[in-house]
Amino acid sequence: MKRLIAHRGMSSLAPENTLAAFSLCKEHHIQWFECDVDILKDGTIIVSHDDTLDRCTDKSGQLCKISHADIDNIDAGSWFADEFIGEKLPTLQELIALANKLELNMNIEIKSCSASAALSYTLIDNLIAGLKDLNPDRELIVSSFNHLALTEFKRRSPETQVACLFESHTLWDDWNSILDWCNADYIHPEDKGLTQEMVHKFKTAGFKVNVWTVNDLARANQLFNWGVDGICTDIAHKFPSKYKILGNK
C-alpha cells in the first residue's frame, strides 16, 4: 500500500492545519492527511504546528496561555487569503468529527509541550480519550519527534500504530534501538539526504516508511520505486491520479 499524505492538510490551497485544509483532501481524492496537536492551558487539544499563535493567526502569544473560550476570537485563516477569514483553530473533537464524516485517515503528530512535562502527560491523556470517538474503520498513525512522549503514548494506547519522526541530522546509527524502544510501527525520516540504502535498512528491519516533506514529483516517484510506503507533501493536488489512486487503497 502506498500513501499520499497531505502535509497539514492541503496546505498550499488553504491555511495549514485548519478544517478547510483537511476538507479539501476529499475534493482532491487524497485519503490521508497529516496534522499536529498541542494543548491549551485548560487541557483542550488543539490542532496547531507551532506552540505560539504568531505565524498562522491574527493573534500573538503561547497556546499554553489560552483556553477553549479564547478560540472564537482567534482568526486562523485571514493570513492565508481573504476567502478564509474567520477560519478557526480546530479542536481534536472537530478534527475527529471531520475525519469520520469525510472518511479520511490521519497521521497525528504529537508536539512537544515546551511549557512542562505535566502538560505533555495531559496532552497524551486527552488525545487518547478523544481518539475513542474515531470510527474504527478510519486508519490512524500517531507520530512525534519527541520519542519519550511517543513511548508513553504507545504504552497507554498499544493498539495504535505509531511512528518515530527524524530530521536528517538526528537520524543516527541508533535509530533501530529508538524505534524498538518506542515499539514503533513506522519510521518517518526527512527526505533530505535519504538514500536507497537507508530505505532498504528500514524495510529490512521490519518498519514501514513514510517520508517527509516531498514536494517534487520525480523525487516522489523515485522514493516509491525504492519501496517507501508513503510520502508527506504540501502539493498533493499536483500529483497524477495514479498516486491518488494508490493513496486511496
Which of 49, 147, 169, 188 is labelled catalytic? 49
Q: What is the C-alpha to C-alpha distance for residues 57 and 89, in angstroms, rounded to an integer?
A: 9
Contact in structure between 162 and 128 (CB atoms under 8 Å): no
Identify any residues that bridge with 232 across adjacent strands, giving them in sequence order.
5
Q: What is the C-alpha to C-alpha distance for residues 149 and 63, in angstroms, rounded to an integer?
A: 19
The residues, ordered by sequence, that sit 6+ positions from 230 with a Cβ below 8 Å of its Cβ are 2, 3, 4, 5, 32, 208, 209, 210, 211, 247
Q: Exposed/middle/buried for 2, CB within 10 Å: 0-12, 13-18, 19+?
A: middle
Is 28 a known active-site residue?
Answer: no
Is 147 a known active-site residue?
Answer: no
Rg of the chain in Å (alpha carbons): 17
Which of 7, 28, 68, 188 is labelled catalytic? 7
- For β-strands 32-39 and 45-47, DSSP reports them as antiparallel
Tell me if residue 143 falls in helix, strand or coil.
strand
Cell of 99: 475525519
Distances, alpha carbon 179 to alpha carbons 103, 110, 121, 190, in Å: 29, 16, 20, 15
Give the active site residues: 7, 49
